[in-house]
Amino acid sequence: MTSASPHGPHSSGDTSSFGFRDVDAKEKVKMVRGVFDSVASSYDLMNDLMSGGVHRLWKDAAAAKLNPRPGETILDVAGGTGDMARRYSRMARRAQERRGGEDASVIVLDYNAEMIMAGVQKGGEPEMQWTVGDAMHLPLPDASVDAYSISFGIRNVADIAVALSEARRVLKPGGRFLCLEFSRPTTEVIRQAYDAWSFHAIPAIGQWVAHDRDSYQYLVESIRRFPDQSTFKAMIETAGFRNVSVTNLSGGVAAIHFGWAI
């Protein structure tokens, strides 16, 4: 699926978490790039296998929450192979067909060129543009997009607070922020079942399908070190977003955090 220190919600000083290890923040950027270079070709298949296809329902729920509209510029950060951007494009076009308006523009931005290339090869929608870029240094002007989304990607940045600040910077007044991410199961029963599946089955599936156990071990560990729902909500508010809400999915296995740039 597209990291946090024990001393804080994500990073501490010049270090950042890489799974259960703390590494130099700059080194983490290189290490994460290596992970996604390795898994890009099998990324979409692995998402289906790891979640039993449920990730598609989570993404549908997130896209409905974002509610793309005609004429909007939507930035999908850590957009990978374009799953969310395709949803946004189609939803905006359907709304355009009902009530008119200009074409939407959906920008897929990912740090990893291999992921972008896998998405291009998969095919896109007329509204979509593809670009390689850094969530912590977005190549867009201030107040230039109507909506910002990041799905299963914010765990992988070296500094979550910086990425959130960048999201706030590029959003227009009244713009919408959405993050879909793995989160903290809300009951002990769900937590135990999910831990058993993720720590034992997912790395094994990664070895079988992608021939890369280590990358999927990292992804599982990064989920465990990501802040829980309330902690991450507070981080979003600190970045300057208002009316931040949390919607748990599948008992908190994943969650949608949504806020407004007002």
- 16 in a structural domain: yes
Domain assignment present for residue 1? The answer is: no
Q: What is the pTM of this model?
A: 0.83
State yes or no: 37 annotated in a binding site. Answer: no
Question: Residue 223's closest CA among 168, 178, 185, 167?
Answer: 185
Cα 16 to Cα 6: distance, rounded to the nearest angstrom: 10
Q: Does 81 show up as a binding residue in the annotation?
A: yes
| Residue (of 252, 231, 246) closest to 188 by Cα position | 252
Is 78 annotated as a binding-site member? no
What pLDDT score does 73 carry?
98
Considering the domain boundaries, does residue 4 fall inside one?
Answer: no
**Average pLDDT per 10 consecutive residues for the chain, totaling 262 residues:** 36 54 56 56 63 88 98 97 96 97 97 91 95 97 98 91 98 98 94 86 76 78 90 98 98 96 96
Domain count, the chain: 1
Does 167 carry a binding-site annotation?
no
- Parent domain of 195: 11-261
Residue 11's pLDDT is what? 44
For residue 177, what pLDDT is reported? 98
Query: Would you say residue 2 lies in a domain?
Result: no
State the Cα–Cα distance between residues 2 and 188, nearest whole angstrom: 26
Separation between Cα atoms, residue 3 and residue 20, nearest integer Å = 9
pLDDT at 9: 39
- What sections of the chain are H helices per DSSP? 25-39, 43-51, 54-66, 83-99, 113-122, 160-170, 188-196, 202-205, 213-225, 229-238
Q: Residue 3 falls within a domain, yes or no?
A: no
CATH label of the domain that carries residue 22 = 3.40.50.150
For residue 214, tell me if it sits in a domain: yes
Per the annotation, does 135 bind a ligand?
A: yes
Question: Does any domain span residue 138?
Answer: yes
